[in-house]
Chains A and B, each alone.
Chain A
Amino acid sequence: MSRKYTAALVGNPNSGKSALFNALTGARQKIANYAGVTVERKAGRLILPSGEPVELLDLPGSYSFDAASPDEAVTRDVVKGTFDGEAVPDVLVIVIDAANLEQHLVFAQEVLELGRPTVVALNMVDLAERDGLTLDPAALSEALGVPVVPTVAVRRRGISELLAAIAEAETHADEEAHKRWHLTLPERRLSAKHIARGTILSKSTRHSIENGVDKVLLNPWIGPVILFGLLFIIFQAVFAWATPFADALEGGVGILSEATTDLVPAGIVRDFLTEGVLEGVGSVVVFLPQIVILFAFILIMEASGYMARAAFLMDRLMAGVGLSGKSFIPLLSSFACAIPGIMATRSISDPKDRLTTILIAPLMTCSARLPVYAVIIAAVIPRTTIGPGIGLQGLVLFALYVAGIVGAMVVALVLRSTVTKGAASGFIMELPRYQLPRLKDLAIGLWQRAWVFLRRAGTIIFVATIALWVLLSFPKADPGESQLDASFAGAVADALHPVLEPVGFNREMSLALVPAIAAREVAVSALATTYAVDAEDEDVAAEGVTEKIAALWSLPTALAFLAWFVFAPQCLSTIAVARRETNGWKWPTVMVVYLFALAWLAAGATHWIAVSLGL
């Protein structure tokens, strides 16, 4: 028996499918995309009691084969065996929320009609007991005609029984499918009601905790206050807790760079390794701690059921600009980095909503802008206070964040009435039951996000930084001439300068913008290089460059530079990810053009207004 068997988990969203997947496969998981669509393909390996390995697929949560989103279409096509490049799963494991039988049995029956070898996991029976339900799995099994195994994925209850049932179902894998009579949706719903009634032995009148908790968390007055309090804590954590880890990573890159310098003889190869590879990829990898912390919060919010409530609370605000509450999660992620933010838009089912969210995600102030803001603000904004505990510098920083958010809202409004025009998007979302997140699921989730980010840094970002390094390093400068001036990048800056001069930029600033295309914060070290500050390290360079800027830049010029960075698409990796997620160059091009146009206008307006005010 050399044939390798496959199984797939199918079920409604919020059936505890992912937790069951983790319990069945442990950390042996592989995340990729289904061919041709940006739907995540999660596969893992489970070991049957006989020791035989089976590939297990975690299919996207689905309410029906009559798909209302790309995710649901993938589930339908894979289960029916019509998805190109995916073998039809030998065994289907239908996951049902025990406390929500009447609803989950509707889709379960649709899957059972296929007549494939099937096992039903009656999941989260503990939550059903908490709600006062006593269930009869044997009655359910008889009604459905397939084995039913009660499970509590998060406590590994029923897992070995489920594995045994999968092994038994597998022995029928090569038989002809016994297709069942097709029922219409109303018929399935009626039959689901009957089956649920037959399965529920007793039902106490105990109320679920959801309503009580939601009375507070969804309260029109208290709810938003709690949400913004939480967001405040998240921001504090992302920027404060991550610093020591980011410093350590930066130190590690520095050590690697020194080791390379010692081992490799001076020349092109060493420059390529230290200045190109290590510095380029290193400048992106230092954001890993912030991304991990942010995702820890996001995963907790999702696993506990609060994220859907946050979307509920934000929906009204987002509806004002033609989006829905579902765009809130990707945009929140974009404050750490637009790359995971754009990837998170996959959860938005409406294609125009999703596109609009991708296009405005770069306007959320990502953490790479912070070093640039910090240096310029320190140089030109006085350290005065304008009220108890309110410093002028902090206020300017806050204003820059707000400018990004307001800009994003205005752009969304414009996009929704032009290029992504369409009917106002709706907001239909199940608010899942509250649950205590489990550490293991959290750890697996975090590891996966971190890995996806690192893999991206190792591929797209790697290639982009190498290309930029070549532009900056050739042709070689004559002695006494600055390398940046002599390079191709210098020539590009010269060509750019006439365009940037009207908005108040000096030539050094135009030059700094070129390397900053790889990663925004490089603008600081680029300025440092141009001002011939003799320092390699960004922090040391920053100290020197702050004084230079304070002495050499006028206030309107510095403010224009800040305004530029609020909008400018100064990050190749974001553009690369946008291309991948929109399957083409059309929308990344739109994004780059509108962002540069906005940046130019914002810098210009800032400069002209500041000059006319006599600043």
Chain B
Amino acid sequence: MTLDGFDSERSARITSVDWAALAEDESKRLQALGVDEGAEVAIMHRGIFGTRDPIALRLGNMTIAIRRAHAAAITVEAV
């Protein structure tokens, strides 16, 4: 299942990321931040309005804001 549909405040392990679906500099930025295969993340907050975009991820000791479109390219499994 992809990260955008995953429950909030539940740990998930990233099993794969569809880098081809993302722009090159976005891929670079996400990898630099540690959003990559094997990382454990949890959705902590979701944005306003109907689309609930963007989302705030917890990764280690960091909070990272990404768009739902990015989360849709990230496949996760429950930990």
Interface residues of A (CB under 8 A from B): 63-64, 66-69, 99-100, 102-103, 106-107, 131, 185-186, 189, 208, 210-211, 214-215, 218-221, 223-224, 308, 311-313, 315-316, 319, 325, 349-350, 423-424, 426-431
Contact = CB atoms under 8 A, between A and B. Distances in A.
A316 B29 contact: no
B32 interface: yes
B interface, how many residues as a size bin?
35 or more
Nearest to A106: B34
Interface of B: 22-23, 25-26, 28-34, 36, 44-49, 51-54, 56, 58-67, 69-70
Contact of B29 (A68, A211, A308, A311): A68
Given A100-B61, A224-B48, A308-B65, 20 more contacts: A66-B28, A67-B28, A102-B34, A103-B34, A218-B45, A221-B48, A223-B48, A312-B45, A312-B56, A315-B47, A316-B53, A316-B54, A319-B67, A325-B54, A426-B23, A427-B54, A428-B66, A428-B70, A430-B33, A431-B56
A224 B49 CA distance: 11
B17 to A, nearest CB: 13
Contacts of B62: 100, 103, 430
A431 B61 contact: no
8 cross-chain pairs, A with B, having the tightest CB-CB distances, nearest first: A63-B32, A431-B63, A64-B32, A218-B45, A68-B28, A68-B25, A220-B48, A68-B29
A185 B31 contact: yes
8 contacts: A100-B60, A103-B60, A219-B45, A220-B48, A315-B65, A426-B67, A426-B70, A429-B65
Contacts of A64: 28, 31-32
Given A63-B32, A349-B25, A428-B65, A312 B47 contact: yes
Contacts of A66: 28, 32
Nearest to A99: B61
Contacts of B59: 103
B61 A428 contact: no
Nearest to B9: A211
B66 A214 contact: no
Contacts of B36: 185-186, 189
Contacts of B54: 312, 315-316, 325, 427
A68 B44 contact: no
Q: Which of B31, B48, B49, B58 has the most CB of A within 10 A?
A: B48
B64 A220 contact: no
B64 A428 contact: yes
A426 B21 CA distance: 12
Contact of B45 (A99, A215, A325): A215
B36 to A, nearest CB: 7
A325 B55 CA distance: 12
A214 B63 contact: yes
B61 A208 contact: yes
Contacts of A218: 45, 56
B63 A430 contact: yes
B47 A431 contact: no
A211 B44 contact: yes
Contacts of B34: 102-103, 106, 189
Nearest to B58: A211
A63 B45 contact: no
A210 B60 CA distance: 13
A502 B36 CA distance: 61
B31 to A, nearest CB: 6
A52 to B, nearest CB: 36
Contacts of B63: 210, 214, 430-431
Q: Which of B31, B32, B51, B56 has the most CB of A within 10 A?
A: B32
A428 B53 contact: no
Contacts of A69: 25
Contacts of A350: 25
A229 to B, nearest CB: 15
B53 A319 contact: yes
Contacts of A210: 63
B61 A131 contact: yes
Contacts of A131: 61
Contacts of A223: 48
A591 to B, nearest CB: 25
Nearest to B47: A316
Nearest to B28: A68
Contacts of A431: 56, 63-65
Contacts of A308: 65
A429 B45 contact: no
